[in-house]
Structure 1
Amino acid sequence: MIQRLELVRAHLLARGFRKKIASLAHRQRYSEVLFVGKLSSSEEKARRRWLKRKSGIGDFAFDTVFVQTSEDALNALRVNPILQAVVIHDGFAFRSPDCHLNTLHSILDELDVLFEATPESNRGPLLGTHIAKLRPEVDLYFVADSCVEDVAERTGEMFKRVFRRGEDQDELLRAIMRGIEQRYEAPWFNAVMDHAGRPISNFHALGISRAKSLKNSKWIDDFEQFYGKNLFLAETSATSGGLDSLLEPRGPLKFAQEKAARAYGAKRTVFVTNGTTTANKIVVQTHVRPGDVVLVDRNCHISNHFGLMLARARVRFLNAYPLNDYSTYGAVPLRELKRELLAYRRAGELDRVRLIMLTNCTFDGIICDPKRVMMECLAIAPHLVFAWDEAWFAFAYFHPTYRGRTAMGTAAELEAMFQDPDYAAGYEAFSAEFGAEAWADDERVLSTRLLADPSKARVRVYATQSTHKTQTALRQGSMIHIWDQDFNKTAFTNAHFTHTSTSPNYQILASLDVARRQADLEGYRLVQRQLELGMRLRKQVSGDPLLKKYFRVLGPDDLVPPEYRESNAETYFDEKTGWSNFETAVRTDEFVLDPSRITLEISGTGLSGDTFKKRLMDKFDIQINKTTRNTVLTMTTFGTTRSDVDNLIQVLRKFALDCEEKMRNFSQIEQRIHDDKVRSLTLTQPLPYFSAFHPAFCAHMETGDGDMGLANNLAMEDVNCEYLHPADAERAISGGRVVVSAILVDPYPPGSPILEPGQVIDIPTLKYLRALDVREIHGFDHEIGLRVFTEETLSRILDERKSAAEHGGTS
């Protein structure tokens, strides 16, 4: 599936590419155009004219690739990442005589049946539909012998232009080049560059603008020398003079966000300059009002927790499956979600459930199946809104294998399905079989793959993405992608104004604009390369006898339990079949593991994850982020190079060789000490589940959701709280006291809380807290202990709630 640059070069040489390979390697804006079908003599002449001019069309150059069948076209799009446009001609065959890809079997089987049932005049649009699913970023053009007007009317949104065969060949060339230019254009970045080039005298804020406050100083001139003058020339507070306002964009920033929405498959996209932390709060405030119920992944990012506190939501936490051997969590099973929704239905509270918040994919690379999750949840509650935290998944939409597991890719699919008469017929059949008696049987509902009622279900999906984490954007650069059939502009705008600075950083915004451009024009190539480098690292570590003694690469069989892995795939890549296991897993499994996340189990070294991380950075200048007591997480991104991977492998070998040296020279006592360290790292430490909210903060006792906002507000007053060290808290619990957290406690990384305001503290959580080796634990002071509510405060709140209930009011 993944084609290296060397293969692309060989492919070009085999076709007699006339430029020197050396010059092609340095041409940054070179691309190719795919022609499907047989060209007429006039079209062939036009092609030869294009080739003579290709190196002189503005800043772009392109060459042409020709195929005769649908299968060859899809193969080319899968293996050639530099294709930017496809021109489909009438009169092509379906199957290739000699070229087949395992990764396309499912697509081709579906298309084969449709192809035979489709008149020849409609086969071009049929192929275009499947190309758009595979590579939506490429521009599509159609050249037809007749009925051009009919094609244009029926498929105008699919094709950028439709041409009649033999006419306007030069216009086709210009259309292709214009299509590339339009995607290359970065409106906001261009506006900032233009502004920086103007001779502006600034009588408003910022002193640092134009670098004049630096030039007037003898003490900070090194600041400009380090960052360069353009940074400060572009630093401005202006929203006029060709610039724009993030809070009310009408010019280049508006156009930049519209381009991002198209590129990421959204109906709307909004740029955010304070990271996904702010993006999550904006989404929460848009939808949640005091008393609304939110079902949320307990291990979601801390920003979601704070957003829910501010919104005064009734929060019901969902437990992800635990991976105790590696001290980390997976993702929330669909069965857990459905069980909670059914509980609210039994309690007569289903209409109060407003929002479902889930992480996709997790820090460790566990990818959900958003389509199945949303389909089955909408079958139970068709009014639901879904907020997907895709902070680590911004790159995924630009690869056909990942795309079906993204929030925006799934939202588009669901809306199309709910409008499809065939789906409606299928739902009617399902509804007739799965009647009222079945809905009364919770176990049957949990075990059945549900279908949503297309006449009731609404597609309301939000995805927050940290563009800066895996793509090419400055730190804090994030986006909110929206596909909401009932979008409330007033509510969203209000939330946006609440959490967004009136002084956003223009450089962050410019980097988001450029990140969109890069992903639009070469995202597929970069994601393929990211996958290839991830697999290279996995293969090298797993295949080296020395490295295997001390480092184990965790695979899907380690991080995704069998009950969520229908494919039974233990590895995703094979030398003979390529990525077919990964493709199958994506189609069938409830959870899949992102191959570009490589978790190494390191207990054999005798070092904890935190210690290993520190040595990597201090001694070898290798930066990683997430660790557990016995694992470290590495990942490949758009910025990873092959040299980086080779360097990490070399450093791991140095660790292994150092371990070998020490082992050879250990005394018996030293060997026992080392063995004890290894044993302590491999002993299973159970991960804590969310215990419960204390009754003082339970909004509804039957459903068990809690008012974290109330607990958080009370905790702001010192008189309501006291401090207990973990050991003292454990003794108090053993003695019968109900100890309740007054603050959110959050080990970082990964930023997933283990205690919430209002949560009953249990002994498993305390044991887990004491076993943590991370140094940064927000909300926990090692000197004074845990902030908890006093028993008097809890009794007072219970009395107030009881009194309010007796008088028919609320507390």
Structure 2
Amino acid sequence: MKFRFPVLIIDEDFRSENTSGLGIRALAEAMEGEGAEVIGATSYGDLSQFAQQQSRASAFILSIDDEEFLTPDTEQSAIANLRDFIQEIRFKNNDIPIFLYGETRTSSHIPNDILRELHGFIHMFEDTPEFVARHILREARSYTDGLAPPFFRALVDYANDGSYSWHCPGHSGGVAFLKSPVGQMFHQFFGENMLRADVCNAVEELGQLLDHTGPVAASEHNAARIFNADHCFFVTNGTSTSNKMVWHSTVASGDIVVVDRNCHKSILHAIIMTGAVPVFLTPTRNNLGLIGPIPLDEFRPENIQKKIDANPFAREAQAKHPDRKPRILTITQSTYDGVVYNVEMLKELLDGRIDTLHFDEAWLPHAAFHHFYRNMHALGRDRPRCKEAMMFATHSTHKLLAGISQASQILVKESETQKLDRHIFNEAYLMHSSTSPQYAIIASCDVAAAMMEPPGGTALVEESIAEALNFRRAMRKVDAEWGDDWWFQVWGPDEIVDDGIGVQEDWILHPDDNWHGFGNLAAGFNMLDPIKATVVTPGLSVNGEFAETGIPASIVTRYLAEHGVVVEKTGLYSFFIMFTIGITKGRWNTLLSALQQFKDDYDKNLPMWKILPEFCQAFPSYEQTGLKNLCQQIHDAYKSHDIARVTTEMYLSPMQPAMKPSDAYAMMTHREIDRVEIDELEGRATAVLLTPYPPGIPLLIPGERFNETIVQYLQFAREFNNKLPGFHTDIHGLVEENVGGTRKYYVDCVR
């Protein structure tokens, strides 16, 4: 397999017929004769654009004999350009070879800070082009040969080996697909390399994911080093599984666990599977429906103890084992809307009070690579270990880094007194791992970690922050130009820096800030990750006040989807986008342009058939309705039910446990349940997770009772879904049945 990494030459004489041009083209031809690809450019141009080529090139060759070097004045300017260019390259890549060449100038003309970044200085015509070409290509190949991390390197070597496969999978390196017309289509779409690399765990030279040996072990060790952890374990079926592995390695039936109330449902599944007794910490929320942080006071041991005392099942568990601490704390770091916690403050409060601290950092794996996030993520360089508590961080490598779907990892930081028993941990790992892992996912975990090695990873994160702030600045510029007319807002601090990325302090949530709507927060405890951007649509304030007119986000995101822009999450009057390391200027400018188009179509009240034809094919009753009119219909429905208040209060309302979650789930599996209509739910205990979308956060877990506010919300959802099909509120756990031509809604409750 040949990877394409050309040598990039920058020389203004590259296409000239003078001596310099003839010489550099002779060198280029000699390198091509050695099998290399060469690309010639005639000026540095935009520094950042050329610096992007560091990810595609195997070496740079830069001329210092161009016209700007001819006089003392222009020479200084040329040196400055050269320095800027090299610094831009080194900001992202410490290792790519950089050569200077010239006919008259030597290293004596070049300052030391530039010389130390070079791999060589070439004097034209002193050696043959062929000799110089081999010298350059030796360095270039040494560089590219060292790029691949351990597992990916082994997988490439295996796929290139040409061995006949007698093991699973049955397509045998893609051969089976070639025997069928539709298989041919599949083979052509995914390609030879992916299918040759799709192998089973019988291939000894690739190592073994299940017992962490060979190249897999080397890659996990490499990733642990890069992420500042003592151990790293790759997971090929998502962070939902990573979370369950952590829990099953630490939690047993009857253990008290302390959990973020707005955690991912995989944590709630882990509670059910382990038979644990949960005590919940309740995050703040604002009336836009955005999830804020758990207040610092909630984490204080005395307040956790009060929650244990108030929960009959936790109280009973503690009475049986009064010497046991809560077994694990799991919090969502960051929240779904981008709020993160100061981990050092949590360690100071809870080290020695809870056995294991688990940070579900599915949405935060990038934070370890930039000082912007210092202390606001689990495992950082040069930060103290806990004295007693083991620390786990689980990462969705596929969400914010460059892993492919389901790529995840578990990171472990041991305490001063507690070491990880890898054998015990691996029992839990095996419980949730397939014996046929997808090797492309393992390779993407390996490569995603290697990509974050500083300085490259630091540069990638800084670019993400910079693009996010550029988007926010562009949205504010549009708003200013519209004046008193309406426009979309981006949720965040009132003031942001005019240029660059600023500092962490710019994004700290202060107790006296009005913009976040989370009330009196502890100083220095939380910040908003600027790469998580929530776009707020008109109609609802952060204080929960409805305007006379409004534009619900569900219509905006449907409009965007039909115009090729798909967002991450949609709320009542907000939608969420992320500036990952893969986001480009073109993408966010396309989003901004699409929002401008929406505004124009809304102001003209164009009919739905014209602007959302695909939607109207599915729901023809809206064809003649104007966009502005439809927005107002949905807005009036929200306003009449005061739905912002209801959705906020239902998540903040106290939940009453009727039984352990595992016991309620057991009753469901034994069919000891009643299917109860919405109007009869108050006081009944659910047997299932009840999860409204948006925001996709479980509202009730098995064994908890319905209260009046939750029933009120479900009644609204029933009425809204019947009145405005196509914009329905999706609630997992709500059963829809057609009874005599009428749609009815039920929830399975324990008897």
Show the 5 A alignment for 1:246-645: 246-324=209-287, 326-338=288-300, 339-343=302-306, 349=322, 351-378=324-351, 381-409=352-380, 413-415=383-385, 457-485=387-415, 486=418, 487-521=420-454, 522-545=456-479, 549-557=485-493, 570-575=494-499, 579-580=502-503, 582=505, 585=508, 589-604=524-539, 606-617=550-561, 619-645=562-588
Residue 702 (structure 2) aligns with:
757
1:712 equivalenced with 2:672 (yes/no): no
Q: 3-state SS of the aligned residue for 2:379? A: helix
CA distance in 1, matches of 2:142, 2:705: 58
Quote how far apart the aligned CAs of 1:607 are: 4.0
Residue in 2 that maps onto 1:801? none
Residues 1:193 and 2:156 are matched in the alignment = yes
The alpha-carbon deviation at position 238 of structure 1 amounts to 4.2
Q: Using the alignment, how far apart are the partners of 1:652 and 1:404 within structure 2?
A: 36
Q: In the TM superposition, what is the alpha-carbon distance from 1:471 to its structure 2 partner?
A: 1.3
Return the offset for 1:677.
4.3
Which residue of the partner structure matches residue 39 of structure 1? none
Structure 1: gaps spanning 5 or more residues: 1-9, 11-17, 34-47, 53-65, 68-75, 86-139, 141-175, 419-456, 558-569, 698-706, 794-811
Structure 1 residue matching 2:246: 3-state secondary structure? helix
Cα deviations across residues 647-697 of structure 1 (Å, max 9, x unaligned)? 111000000111221299xx9x99888656445556532321365665641
- 1:789 partnered with 2:724: no
More displaced stretch, 771-780 vs 748-757: 771-780
Residue matched to 1:240: 203
Q: Secondary structure of 1:495's partner?
A: helix
Secondary structure, aligned partner of 1:658 = helix
- Report % sequence identity: 25
Q: How far 1:765 sits from its partner (Å)?
A: 1.6
Contact 2:239 2:362 in 1 (8 A): yes
Q: 2:87 and 2:414 mapped to 1: Cα distance? A: 30
1:635 Cα offset (Å): 1.5
Change (3 A) 1:581 1:475: closer
| TM-score of the two chains, using structure 2 as the length reference | 0.70
Aligned residues of 2:279 and 2:307 also touching (Cα < 8 A):
no
- In 2, are the aligned partners of 1:283 and 1:462 still within 8 Å (CA)? yes
Query: In 2, Cα distance between the equivalents of 1:362 and 1:746?
Result: 16
Contact 2:372–2:503 (CA<8 Å) still a contact in 1? no
Superposed CA offset, 1:150-184 (max 9, x none): xxxxxxxxxxxxxxxxxxxxxxxxxx999988973
Question: What one-letter code is carried by the residue in structure 1 that aligns with 2:664?
Answer: A
Closer/same/farther in 2, CA of residues 268 and 295 from structure 1, 3 Å limit: same
SS in 1 for 2:327: strand
Instruction: Please state if 1:81 is matched with 2:91.
Output: yes
**What is the aligned counterpart of 2:53 among 22, 26, 35?**
26
Residues 227 and 379, structure 2, Cα contact 8 Å, conserved in 1? yes
Shift of 1:553: 2.6
CA distance in 2, matches of 1:270, 1:377: 25
CA–CA distance in structure 1, aligned partners of residues 261 and 496 of structure 2: 29
1:298–1:690 contact (8 Å) kept in structure 2: no
Task: Please give the alpha-carbon distance, in whole angstroms, between the structure 2 residues aligned to 1:179 and 1:358.
Answer: 44
CA distance 1:463–1:622, change in 2 (3 Å):
same
Structure 1 residues 580 and 471 mapped into 2: Cα distance closer, same or farther (>3 Å)?
Answer: closer
Measure, in 1, the Cα distance between the counterparts of 2:414 and 2:699: 32
Q: State the AA in 2 paired with 1:363.
A: Y
Aligned to 1:780: 734
**What is the alpha-carbon distance in structure 2 between the residues aligned to residue 581 and residue 219 of structure 1?**
53
Greater RCO, 1 or 2 (C-alpha within 8 Å, sep 6+): 1
Q: CA deviation at 1:279?
A: 0.3
- Rounded to whole Å, the distance in 1 between the matches of 2:223 and 2:214 is 15
Q: Distance in 1 between matches of 2:569 and 2:487?
A: 16
Find the aligned partners of 1:672 and 1:778 in 2 and give their Cα distance: 30
Alpha-carbon RMSD across the aligned residues, in angstroms, is 4.2
Alignment-mate amino acid for residue 610 of structure 1: S
Distance 1:235 1:315, change over 3 A: same
Q: 1:511: how far off?
A: 1.0
Amino acid at match of 2:413: W
Opposite residue 615 of structure 1, the aligned amino acid is Y
Relative to its length, the structure with more helix (as a share) is: 1
In 2, Cα distance between the equivalents of 1:78 and 1:32?
15
Contact 2:601 2:627 in 1 (8 A): no
Sort the Cα spacing of 1:179 and 1:758 in 2 relative to 1 into closer, same or farther, 3 A: farther
CA distance in 2, matches of 1:749, 1:582: 30
Distance verdict in 2 for CA 1:782–1:550, change over 3 Å: farther
CA distance in 2, matches of 1:407, 1:670: 46
| Pairwise CA distance, 1:484 | 2.0
C-alpha distance in 2, partners of 1:471/1:230?
Answer: 22
Unaligned ranges ≥5, structure 2: 1-9, 11-40, 66-78, 81-85, 96-116, 118-138, 310-314, 511-522, 540-548, 608-623, 718-726, 738-743
Q: Quick check: 1:467–1:478 contact (8 Å CA) kept in 2?
A: yes
Match of residue 723, structure 1, among 658, 666, 675: 675
Q: 1:661 corresponds to which letter in structure 2? A: K
TM superposition shift of 1:242: 1.7
